[in-house]
Chain A
Amino acid sequence: MALSRFASSSRSGSLLKPLSSAISLRRPISTDTTPITLETSVPFTAHQCEAPSRTVQTTANELLTFFRDMALMRRMEIAADSLYKAKLIRGFCHLYDGQEAVAVGMEAALTKKDCIITAYRDHCTFMARGGTLLEVFAELMGRQAGCSRGKGGSMHFYKKDSNFYGGHGIVGAQVPLGCGLAFAQKYSKDEAVTFALYGDGAANQGQLFEALNISALWDLPAILVCENNHYGMGTAEWRAAKSPAYYKRGDYAPGLKVDGMDVLAVKQACTFAKEHALKNGPIILEMDTYRYHGHSMSDPGSTYRTRDEITGVRQERDPIERIRKLILSHDLATEKELKDIEKEVRKEVDDAIAQAKENPVPESSELFTNVYAKGLGVESFGADRKEVRATLP
């Protein structure tokens, strides 16, 4: 526990304090990989399977990485809120703050050979798959450096080289698509799995059950992850689902209910699910999570839930605060060091936004690119076809 000794010694000497704070700004995140054994916040609840143990193994390195990654995501989403209000982001903007533990915990259980597909609340999932802040902010602002070169927008982030397949605007559509990815992985004998994420609102979609049926019949390595933030836009889960026990809705398919605000529980559940899916076919994970923002930037989020509820979750269950407490209670870093990480992360976000603001909008010719992968030299038209025509490459 080299780091913890360093941390405690810096706290003990007040003379050393200013020096250590200067050092801590430069000091890299702890690379200590000594295993730490912890328990998840709550045990897992299982349907048609044996729940994994709530005892998890982690390391200082991992916990600090989790903290940093989630803090980065939190900062990014809050910055996006401001950009939207400043009208630099247009259209739809669905923010993920509060749900960071799901993106981060899942990524920790996977490799880049595994596929992830989600709906429109995709900024943080994209980041977890290796996206950069510049790609996020430039895409949100419709600039060339965006991950979809400005042509997709908030709901259409993709990163194929990390097997991140978007970014989908139609509620529920991503679930059959995800099962199709799993099909292709099995067909190609890739020994990898697909995580298809959806919300409690999408959980009632018929196509989800159609895809699950086929996945179970064909033993596809598909993990369906319900990010249950308890509200489908403005409709509370009990008003939309006769049975809001989403982990059980797979009926013949096994399911697990997970505290989605506990990144270690998420990681444990995803590891378990991956192993299960490779051997036995589809499984459902229900992540009990929460979004602080409304459904999107047009929704204040307070007409269908009380402010007390929101602050209550923030106080009791915030995923970043949980990790902060763990880190501090295990002496893996000081409070100041964690605050410094948050400052670093904030600066990264600010720098990326500044860079994105300087980035140009797409060339006009981009209107006509990528309509097809192989355009065959056909013509396409602008609003006035006698004025604006293009040949598709």
Chain B
Amino acid sequence: MLAIARQRILGQSFQKIRPAVSVLRSYSSAAKQITVREALNSALDEEMSADPKVFLMGEEVGEYQGAYKITKGLLEKYGPERVLDTPITEAGFTGIGVGAAYYGLKPVVEFMTFNFSMQAIDHIINSAAKSNYMSAGQISVPIVFRGPNGAAAGVGAQHSQCYASWYASCPGLKVLSPYNSEDARGLLKAAIRDPDPVVFLENELLYGESFPVSDEVLDSSFCIPIGKAKIEREGKDVTITAFSKMVGYALKAAEILEKDGIHAEVINLRSIRPLDRSTINASVRKTNRLVTVEEGFPQHGVGAEICASVVEESFAYLDAPVERIAGADVPMPYAANLERMAVPQIEDIVRAARRACYRSVPLAAAA
């Protein structure tokens, strides 16, 4: 009780001297915390500052400060020639972005959500992804397509689809999906610097979440290599792969499984294409069990590809069938109870991991 009182007093004194910038300092470590939104904003800011060829384009990115405030302040800082508000014409402005990339500029095209990218998907695939190949290397396309992907909350069927597996099936594209602020900064900076077309799948519900970031992450040269997954939590009993919001769920599931003596290894894919098959396979060879987690539709999804890869490369190491957790095989419903059933929940991941460990009923923890 004394400890709690002491915490409160310390918390209050820190409140008074909190700096103007909204960066919280926790008592125990010197790590800063920034939201995913701040991470994305700072990444855009730094890359625009470093390279005059980088420019932003999309609906409401300028004067509105961004539909989700990701591009806040950038119009004021860089001017209307580099931060361009477009009409609601995805096919037109995406084509214009790709054409600018043909010429050598580095556009960052925002889709208000990736659902609207379907209006422009011909330009993403046929005009961007395939050009370097068709031209035998003459026309490279250094463009980034970014925006929120997957389910939000209560937005219904037309505004909730996850496009990771569609885009990741295309050779010529790179597809990234950050989870936390470190991912958001490092991957977006890498995407903008990359000479190939990158589809950058964010998550609306993560924008406001804060994560600790080291000084290295905050440095303007910080970059995360494309094509490398991150082991967020080490374990030896079952591998859980996830990306974007599901990484958070997988980590929570791992904590619950820990209480049952199941030590789960959680892999944050970060890169859907190229997929880090070697990290995934190395993990499965260690744990012998795999649960893939994604938010999107199950058929022909990311989990299906991961499962196939593991069966091809590490079959002898599997002690149980691969488990897939994905969004329900239905268009996203609106009613809250049905919506809850349509998206993976933490208990779904826990249950699948238990099945993979042949432990449908919680048993006493084994050593």
Contacts and interface: CB of A to CB of B under 8 A. Distances in A.
Contacts of A188: 103, 105
Interface stretch (A69-77, A211-219, A272-280): A211-219
Contact of B95 (A152, A159, A184, A211): A211
B97 interface: yes
B133 interface: yes
B248 interface: no
Contacts of B87: 210, 213-214, 217
Interface in A342-369: 369
Nearest to B96: A180
Interface residues on B, range: 35 or more
B141 to A, nearest CB: 8
Interface residues of A, number: 53
Contacts of B105: 183-184, 187-188
A206 B91 contact: yes
A378 B174 CA distance: 11
Interface stretch (B121-129, B255-263, B296-304): B121-129
A222 to B, nearest CB: 10
Contacts of A165: 99, 102, 139
A83 interface: no
A118 interface: no
Interface of B: 55, 81, 84, 86-87, 89, 91-105, 122-123, 126-127, 131-140, 142, 171-172, 174, 194-196, 225-227, 274, 277, 312
A380 interface: yes
A95 interface: no
Contacts of B94: 176
Given A160-B139, A177-B98, A187-B105, 14 more contacts: A148-B138, A150-B136, A165-B139, A177-B95, A177-B102, A181-B103, A184-B104, A207-B92, A210-B89, A214-B87, A217-B87, A369-B136, A372-B172, A374-B195
Contact of A152 (B81, B134, B194): B134
Interface of A: 115, 117, 148-152, 156, 158-160, 165-170, 173, 175-185, 187-188, 206-207, 209-211, 213-214, 217-218, 369-374, 376-380, 385-386
Contacts of A169: 126
Given A149-B136, A176-B91, A371-B172, A115 B123 contact: no
A341 to B, nearest CB: 32
Contact of A184 (B99, B122, B139): B99
A376 B226 contact: yes
Contacts of B274: 376, 378-379
A191 to B, nearest CB: 14
B106 to A, nearest CB: 10
